[in-house]
Amino acid sequence: MGLIIYLLLVVLWIAGLWKIFEKAGHPGWAAVIPIYNIFIVTKIAGKEWWWLLLMLIPFVNIVILIVLYLAVSQKFGKGPGFAVGMVFLPFIFALILGFGDAEYQESAA
């Protein structure tokens, strides 16, 4: 039963990430490629490619993930509270961001 719930959450996360990528002008299929999907998230967040390397360092990756989620939230016109939701419930907040009415603003800070 736990495996089924886990797989359902992974599918929800991928579906939300796929739509987020498409909204930001990137290929949706990148959501299913490990590591490459993190690279695309860094591009959406407006960060340099080497942030991907920081995501590979234990404990540092937690801080970097929070910073990336905050930047992605801002790029879609959402606030810090939404970033907190993406950290703790990514499968739900990715769906909200991907399938909701939020639009990607490349120039957002």
User: CA–CA distance from 1 to each of 4, 30, 108 (Å)?
Assistant: 5, 28, 42
pTM as predicted: 0.89
Spell out the per-residue pLDDT of the chain, length 109, in tens.
999 999 999 999 999 999 999 999 999 999 999 999 999 999 999 999 999 999 999 999 999 999 999 999 999 999 999 999 999 999 999 999 999 999 999 876 5
The domain limits of the chain are 2-99
d(CA 53, CA 15): 25
